């Protein structure tokens, strides 16, 4: 018999932020941990999301036993609907995580075909030769787990995303004892979250935002709008509780906010007192002095509710003078301009806008800072350590931190995507790279989300490219004459003229339905044009050309 | 005789970051303060810089007496070469400011035609009915002034950009006494810098970076690279002085770094001990343990020296194992991804990279924080106050800060670009908006910088659009087949094929001359293609089409 061996193969998230995915392999059995997506950078024009290249898994299709999810954030589950098309394997996750997955798979028409297996923190599952324990950890959503995976070579611990919150909102503490127990027993390898390795000290508890929220809610002369990530159920819980405490009722606005609240409430993980909720249709008429509204769109995504509320282009609510607006979220690098443009619209309307931690914490991170990372290293005392989740400098600094702590008895292994490591009883060996990379996905509009298009040269040759050119008068904000359309490989000449003429009308309509503030914000107007045009052209021609709107000020 | 009246007309920088420009008008005389540019946002594809629309000044061409500059940063002088083409008026500025302007005008072939008038801090100039005193202030470059402008209605103070540095590197303190004197006498209106209004407390002195620099220079096992803004002469002075102190010699790399050092040194404003400078051609052979190199490109601009050094694609130096790299600059929002990608390349090469203030200050701001802004308000005690330089929320918060201080006897006036205010002895009145806006400029490559193209619909109709589509294999980094070119309105069909075929070769060459790391960085490769193609097509066809490279991973 050959000696036992364990391969760890990072397929995403090591050297980049997002699309986390790690494969473990022993003999002919592969276990995949997480299947995340990332949002495209601005350079990836015309792309909706980016997922990991799973060539390696497809090449070893028969050996993949399961995908195990650590929690329900997009950078850990977002690639599932695309990957399951190619690789229909069982998916393990906790209750809330699977509820989010179920929703997503339903939209993609994949729910029936998928074998979802619910797990409980503290329990074990046998998956081929892997025995997996799910360990409760605290993070910026609920039902998060780390994994302790018993393999023929030893125990591997994968922290998932975590912070060590000493006073979690739901009273369910980080399971330090499980980490201690495995550390006592002996751990082959620790894979751990590097996101906040640049931050000294401890990440504050989620509860740390309570005081400032209470202060602002009490001081608010009119209605209060709070925006946070929709999956941050504990933040939502605190907003609900503070609202109840100060005698305000609560409304929810935005698809992701409403979905997440419904799911968490349905699972009993969000407690909302009877009679506290304002129905959407009552928001406009409700006494503004008695209301708090949770709105999704904290990152000022072009079509999000908060973006539209900010320019008075939302059906359910508006921002008015003396309203209090609280951005209870990190301003993610890359989103600053859009976020501040959105906040400026609110300032212009004379809202009281709070968006930084200067006057008291309005947001805390969900990721471990240096002292928590050291604590995990000291508890687990692994033979090998590999930093996960981060750009290169973050992985590097986490590796350096581990060296400094000195709790790793063997080696600190700095890996990047596609670089496998093989563990045996004798040591850890770097192996030949496997194919990895980004796959760009055009996920389709909501009605037609089942049509997934992988953006590549082949697709471009078939579906072509459309460059609508829109000239907007910078003084009046009005469009100068009809938009021009530059196309290539998109339509046969016979009926092309007609479709393109109609497409011009679609653009005109999109612009007409936008207000002046939206028209001045090129990123918003371009995204609206792209989405509307995509839907129209797809309906008319069944094609999905790459659409690159160009706006000129004249 | 009509009653005296003074109009203030913001033409740029109020409600946006950059392109600062304010006009003052009394009777038939207009004085313009600053003529700044801004860098385009990602949405403004194919544009190099953005300048203010000066329609208002052109409409009143005969009345414009001069442009007065507060200091030499691009957001205060960068539009000059474009504006002077339309509006040839005298330009007033301090010695260092005019030296930078001279360089720029020379490149544009405008130096001969321009009337530059040097001023000294503490002195006055009569410009039509305006008597202007230049007041020395501290900021992140040298020779910066605030302006006290005596007008028929009263004194107006314009702070320019400033911080109140109690211990400036050159020993020339902020002229508090001038501000106090005018405050004593009575000031009609104060216009003041809002950039850092979100920061509580005091901005640290420029000297605050000395200790950490010395610590890192002494600890450095091999050569030290420091990157800062090239105009930050006091930072450069400190790097030079610390290097001398610890027994290292200094090199300068990057066009803007070399230019600024030469100018400041030539004016006696940068003191460099004899024999301290390493010649560029000696950098590669010099003992790395004895050298410090100042490199421009702290914002990871795609073609900058530091970006190229990071991927070992620079003629003069490279980053090697155990080199120390110090990013002594703010990471400007919007640039994070590019900067961290650049730093990752250095981490991969096992450099010791320092980029944040966690271990000690490596960078301090040049702008006043709240306590300094309060101090200025209390010293000047103006009748009217208008926040300058900032996005809307910053102007709003600066206005709120002024209300809170209570030193404004009349009114706090929150203005935006194009909204004039008229001051008379009776009061301040908001007047009808004047035309303002952004003008996008394609400034041409270096050899041909005199050809300036204003990007508008007219130009697009004449010069057309070119969309090169490049497919890169994500596993190998190699280009898959030849690039495709989608064009519109660019070339007549007769010789178009030939030019486009040659243009494909240009793209191939650009890609060949880039190394793997550059090829993986789409923003870099797209910018290189855009610049090379622009130069080539302009040479061949005398046209400047809008060039929008698209990269696909296959």
- Search chain B and give the residue with CA nearest A47: B552
User: Could you say which of B158, B314, B367, B389 is catalytic?
Assistant: B367
Average pLDDT, chain B: 91
Strand, helix or coil at B428? strand
Confidence of residue B47 (pLDDT cuts 50, 70, 90): low
Residues of A in contact with B12 (CB under 8 A): none
Judged by CB atoms closer than 8 Å, whether chains meet at B455 and A552 is answered as yes
State the residue for tokens 């200091």.
Answer: B71
Residue of A55, A79, A53, A49 whose CA lies nearest to A67: A79
Domain with CATH 3.10.20.580 in chain A: 464-553
- Search chain B and give the residue with CA nearest A523: B43
Domain with CATH 3.60.15.10 in chain B: 6-201+365-449
Judged by CB atoms closer than 8 Å, whether chains meet at A15 and B344 is answered as yes
Residue of B156, B517, B495, B465 whose CA lies nearest to B342: B517
User: Could you say which of A193, A323, A442, A463 is catalytic?
Assistant: A193
- Model pTM? 0.90
The ipTM estimated for the assembled molecules is 0.87
Give the pLDDT of chain A (554 residues) as one tens digit per residue. 578 999 999 999 999 889 999 999 999 999 999 999 998 776 555 667 889 999 999 999 999 999 999 999 999 999 999 999 889 999 999 999 999 999 999 988 999 999 999 999 999 999 999 999 999 999 999 999 999 999 999 999 999 999 999 999 999 999 999 999 999 999 999 999 999 999 999 999 999 999 999 999 999 999 999 999 999 999 999 999 999 999 999 999 999 999 999 999 999 999 999 999 999 999 999 999 999 999 999 999 888 999 999 999 999 999 999 999 999 999 998 888 889 999 999 999 999 999 999 999 999 999 999 999 999 999 999 999 999 999 999 999 999 999 999 999 999 999 999 999 999 999 999 999 999 988 888 765 444 444 556 656 566 667 777 888 887 776 666 776 678 787 777 666 566 778 888 888 899 888 888 887 887 777 788 888 888 888 888 888 878 788 888 777 66
CB atoms within 10 A of CB A5: 17
d(CA B35, CA A13): 45
Active site residue B463: no
Rounded to the nearest angstrom, the minimum Cα separation between A285 and chain B is 29
Q: Across-strand partners of A16?
A: A390
d(CA B525, CA B521): 6
Residues of B in contact with A391 (CB under 8 A): 340-341, 344
- Search chain A and give the residue with CA nearest B553: A456
Shortest CB distance from B552 goes to which of A396, A460, A484?
Answer: A460
Architecture of the CATH domain A464-553: Roll (3.10)
User: Could you say which of B161, B165, B193, B532 is catalytic?
Assistant: B193
- CATH top-level class of A6-201+365-449: alpha beta
DSSP β-ladder status, A64-68 and A91-93: parallel
Residue A57, C-beta contacts closer than 8 angstroms, at least 6 positions apart: A11, A23, A30, A32, A64, A83, A87
Shortest CB distance from A474 goes to which of B438, B458, B475?
Answer: B438
Residue B75 pLDDT > 50: yes
In eight-state DSSP terms, residue B142 is: S
What are the contacts of A478-486 at 24+ separation with CB within 8 A? A479/A508, A479/A511, A480/A554, A480/B457, A482/A508, A483/A507, A483/A508, A484/B488, A486/B465, A486/B467, A486/B486, A486/B487, A486/B488
What sign does the dihedral B456-B458-B462-B464 (CA atoms) show? positive
Residue A459's pLDDT is 66
d(CA B472, CA B520): 9
Shortest CB distance from A456 goes to which of B15, B41, B552?
Answer: B552
Query: What CATH homologous superfamily does A206-354 map to?
Result: Metallo-hydrolase/oxidoreductase (3.40.50.10710)
Distance of CA A273 to the CA centre of its chain: 29
- Search chain B and give the residue with CA nearest A469: B457
Q: What angle do CA A23, A138, A420 make, to 5 degrees?
A: 15
d(CA B11, CA A545): 41
d(CA A46, CA A104): 22
Asked if A499 and A533 count as a contact pair (C-beta separation under 8 A), the reply is no
Residue B304 pLDDT > 50: yes
Half-sphere exposure at residue A526, Cβ-oriented, CA atoms within 13 angstroms:
20
Domain with CATH 3.40.50.10710 in chain B: 206-354
Judged by CB atoms closer than 8 Å, whether chains meet at B41 and A522 is answered as yes
Judged by CB atoms closer than 8 Å, whether chains meet at B43 and A455 is answered as no
Distance of CA B532 to the CA centre of its chain: 24
Residue A76's pLDDT is 98
Tokens of B74: 């691009």
Which of A15, A18, A399, A486 best tests the B interface by mutation, with the highest count of B CBs <10 A?
A486
Residue B464 pLDDT > 70: yes
């Amino acid at each position: 018999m050959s000696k036992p061996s364990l391969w760890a193969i990072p397929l995403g998230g090591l050297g980049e932020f997002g699309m986390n995915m790690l494969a473990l392999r022993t003999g002919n059995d592969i276990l995949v941990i997480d299947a995340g997506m990332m949002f495209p950078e601005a350079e990836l024009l015309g792309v909706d999301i980016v997922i990991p290249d799973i060539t390696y898994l497809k090449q070893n299709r028969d050996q993949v036993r399961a995908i195990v999810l650590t929690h329900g954030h997009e950078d850990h589950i977002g690639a599932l609907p695309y990957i399951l098309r190619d690789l229909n394997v069982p998916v393990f996750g906790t209750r809330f995580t699977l509820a989010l997955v179920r929703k997503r798979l339903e939209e993609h028409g994949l729910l029936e075909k998928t074998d979802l297996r619910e797990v409980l923190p503290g329990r074990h599952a046998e998956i081929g030769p892997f025995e997996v324990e799910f360990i409760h950890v605290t993070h910026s959503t609920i039902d998060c787990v780390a994994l302790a995976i018993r393999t023929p070579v030893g125990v591997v611990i994968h922290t998932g995303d975590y912070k060590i919150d000493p006073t979690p909102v739901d009273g369910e503490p980080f399971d330090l004892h499980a980490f201690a127990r495995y550390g006592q027993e002996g751990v082959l390898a620790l894979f751990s979250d590097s996101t906040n390795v640049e931050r000294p000290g401890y990440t504050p508890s989620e509860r740390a935002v309570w005081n400032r929220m209470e202060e602002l809610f009490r001081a608010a002369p009119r209605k209060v709008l709070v925006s946070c990530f929709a999956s941050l159920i504990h933040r939502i819980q605190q907003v609900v509780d503070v609202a109840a405490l100060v005698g305000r009722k609560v409304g929810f606005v935005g698809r992701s906010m409403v979905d997440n609240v419904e799911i968490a409430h349905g699972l009993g993980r969000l407690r909302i007192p009877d009679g506290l909720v304002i129905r959407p249709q009552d928001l406009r008429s409700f006494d503004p002095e008695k209301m708090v509204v949770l709105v999704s769109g904290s990152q000022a995504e072009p079509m999000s509710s908060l973006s539209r509320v900010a320019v008075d282009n939302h059906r359910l609510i508006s921002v008015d003078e003396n309203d209090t607006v609280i951005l209870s979220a990190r301003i993610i690098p890359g989103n600053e301009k859009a976020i501040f443009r959105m906040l400026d619209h609110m300032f212009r309307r004379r809202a009281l806008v709070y968006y930084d931690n200067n006057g008291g914490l309005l947001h805390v991170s969900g990721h471990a800072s240096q002292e928590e990372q050291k604590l995990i290293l000291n508890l687990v005392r692994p033979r090998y350590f590999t930093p996960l989740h981060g750009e290169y400098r973050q992985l590097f600094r986490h590796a350096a931190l581990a060296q400094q702590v000195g709790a790793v008895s063997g080696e600190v292994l700095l890996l990047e995507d596609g670089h496998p490591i093989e563990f045996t009883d004798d040591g850890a060996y770097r192996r030949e790279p496997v194919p990895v990379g980004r796959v760009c996905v055009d996920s389709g509009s909501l009605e037609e989300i089942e049509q997934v298009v992988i953006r590549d040269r082949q697709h471009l040759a078939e579906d072509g490219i459309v460059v609508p050119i829109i000239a907007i008068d910078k003084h009046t904000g009005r469009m100068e004459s009809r938009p021009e359309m530059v196309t290539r490989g998109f339509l046969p000449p016979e009926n092309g003229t007609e479709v393109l003429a109609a497409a011009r009308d679609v653009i005109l309509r999109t612009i007409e339905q936008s207000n002046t503030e939206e028209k001045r914000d090129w990123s918003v107007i371009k995204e609206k044009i792209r989405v509307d045009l995509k839907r129209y052209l797809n309906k008319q021609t069944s094609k999905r050309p790459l659409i690159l709107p160009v706006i000129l000020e004249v």
